[in-house]
Chain A
Amino acid sequence: MPLPRQEVDATTPKYLRDKYAIVGVGETTYTRGSGRTTRALGTWAVRNAMLDAGLKPSDIDGMLSYQGGDSTSGTFISGDLGMRLNFYMDVMGGGSSTEALIGIAIGLIEAGCCKVVAIFRSMNGYSQVRIGGTGARSAAPIVGDILHNRAYGWQSAGQSFAPTFMRHMYDYGTKPEQVAMVKVAHSHHASNNPKAYYKKRFTVEDVLSSRFICKPLHLLDCCVETDNATAIIVTSAERARDCKQPLVLIRGVVGRCNKPRLDMHYQHGPISTVAGYYARQILWPNAGVGPEDIDITGSYDAFTFTTMLQLEDYGFCKKGDGGEYVSSGAIQLGGRRPNNTSGGHLCEGYTHGMNMVIENTRQLRHDADDSCPVGADGKRQHTYDYREGGCRQVKNVEVSANLGWANPSTASSMVMRRG
């Protein structure tokens, strides 16, 4: 029996649409060399998210986090902030965990386990455990199943994903200069984000002339490694109405949806198709919207290619036209559907996807934290002038999509709307 590419049926009751909300978002500064423990960073970010929501420690009774043996459990973070939790769990996971844990938080609240859930990711991704695999982990003993990849020098994320990227170029004629436009767009966005680690604007030429890491990836096709923590707070829409910020509602969520053969997904083809192909069959029906309804995207940019592949497989363009889509101007501020308006992982900082959810939440509040002046009413007066150092708020944004990526075979996603 062949592994089927069957239609997915995971429809939720429609009453879950708009029933939950993101009420608080917070982060630390994005640095290289935080000089702090992941405990201190996590506490700082969760506290910021709590204050952003206008909540007290006693209002938060659920905590979720994700990590890869490189962080601090929620037990310490909640303890530091004096929270008594009715539920907590720390899961193994990197990219794609943010949306997945939001789905779990919704399930917990539906099940009556708790009422208000803080989700965080805290990492010294530059100064302690390098996500790219550099450092102590690069020389760890190779045991059992991982002989089939690490013994071949096939270990880092870039090395692991590269066959997908190369085959996409082969199958569809995707050009390096098209894909490089993802870095160009995100770097323009970051130049209008005072908290971005890299604020410099780059050109296609800059990307293509940077040194090769592993083909087809140049240095500037790869994201930055940083030290930081990020946090968001999920609760019911009903509870959210009492919180401080404009309402941002969750329309639908997909958590860690997969291609077949997670033990080695390349056994299943076409390898130039990624897990978004399956995830979109859950996302759009459950959210009750389609790609054409989305104003802004947060497509995970561990690499320039990951942004392109996901936008394509979620249906923002025809299959194979991803190179054309990302180089058309559509994903840039001022374009039809800007992607990663904070600068994303390529420029703002690397936090395994959570900063893209934070950014879209602020966009939907119409409160992107750019350099626009704050008026007498305390609200930022957005100019919609996207020149360097200027505004990064998207005008009249109503609906967003976040497309989380773990690897070519695992995807999470979420649609949010302004309440």
Chain B
Amino acid sequence: MAIRGEYLGMGLTVDELDVENLEYFRHCAEHDFHLQACMQCGRLRYPPTTACPWCAALDSTWKRVDGRGTVHSYSEVHHAIQPAFRGKTPYLILLVDLDTQKAEPTPDEALRVVGNLCTSDGQLAPADQVRRVGIGTRVRMVFSDVAPGLSLPQWTIDETVSQPASVWRYPQE
């Protein structure tokens, strides 16, 4: 069955034939992050795909993945394009290297999971938190609940671990 929800006033839909995305967001709705693991080569991939980008096998299984990682790159948006995000600026778009499968199979590879910087309850983070985050920041996954069966994975500063002495931020504030 298709899932529809509204998030920040935006209509989000996953069609009933889109079984990969339905399953992905269903696990997120349980606040339990899962990715597809290939039945042939065992590698994880993100976002959901219909075959394995590593070995082209069709069959996969869903595997629980620890939602912890390091900010690989980011953008800080000051001029929102979508009406939903006006009034939410500045907001961060984070590209996070998961600890799981990092630097595999080559040193440049990682499962790079997108998300906004959020508070621990999945709300877009306020400006003082935005200013603390840069490349190298340790983050953990939280979720923004949208509808039954649909939550968005998001990131928050991981206060349970020690952060690097400094992180890289764009030089102009």
Contacts and interface: CB of A to CB of B under 8 A. Distances in A.
B76 interface: yes
B76 A132 contact: no
28 contacts: A1-B54, A2-B106, A2-B109, A3-B54, A133-B81, A139-B82, A141-B12, A143-B14, A144-B14, A147-B12, A147-B25, A147-B152, A151-B10, A153-B81, A153-B82, A153-B116, A162-B73, A166-B74, A166-B135, A213-B77, A214-B79, A215-B75, A263-B49, A266-B112, A267-B109, A268-B108, A271-B95, A271-B112
Given A139-B83, A162-B93, A215-B78, A176 B171 contact: yes
Given A143-B13, A153-B80, A269-B108, 9 more contacts: A1-B41, A147-B14, A151-B10, A151-B12, A153-B82, A153-B91, A163-B75, A176-B171, A212-B76
A133 B95 CA distance: 21
A139 B10 CA distance: 7
**Which 4 A-B pairs rank lowest in CB-CB distance, beginning with the nearest?**
A269-B108, A162-B75, A2-B105, A163-B73
A154 B154 CA distance: 13
A320 B40 CA distance: 38
B62 interface: no
B18 interface: yes
B27 interface: no
Contacts of A271: 72-73, 95, 112
Given A153-B84, A167-B135, A270-B108, A142 B114 contact: no
B79 A213 contact: yes
Given A145-B47, A147-B21, A153-B82, A170 B73 contact: yes
B53 interface: yes
Contact of A141 (B11, B53, B77, B95): B11
A148 interface: yes
A1 B55 contact: yes
A313 to B, nearest CB: 15
A138 B7 contact: no
Contacts of A151: 7, 10, 12, 152
Nearest to B169: A215
B115 A152 contact: yes
B15 A152 contact: no
A155 B75 CA distance: 12
B38 to A, nearest CB: 11
Interface residues of A, number: 51
B146 to A, nearest CB: 8
Contacts of B79: 211-214
B39 to A, nearest CB: 15
Given A153-B88, A159-B93, A167-B73, A267 B13 contact: no
B83 A145 contact: no
Contacts of B170: 166, 169, 176, 215-216
B2 to A, nearest CB: 10
Interface string B136-151: 0000000000000000
A156 interface: yes
A230 B7 CA distance: 40
B81 A155 contact: yes
A137 to B, nearest CB: 9
Contacts of B54: 1-3
A266 B95 contact: yes
A96 to B, nearest CB: 22
B103 to A, nearest CB: 9
A175 B172 CA distance: 10
A134 interface: yes
A268 B105 CA distance: 10
A149 interface: yes
A144 B13 contact: yes
A273 B80 CA distance: 27
Interface in B92-121: 93, 95, 105-106, 108-112, 114-116
A213 B78 contact: yes
A153 B111 CA distance: 20
Interface in B1-23: 7, 10-15, 18, 21
Contact of B21 (A144, A163, A169, A216): A144
A270 B108 CA distance: 5
B73 to A, nearest CB: 4
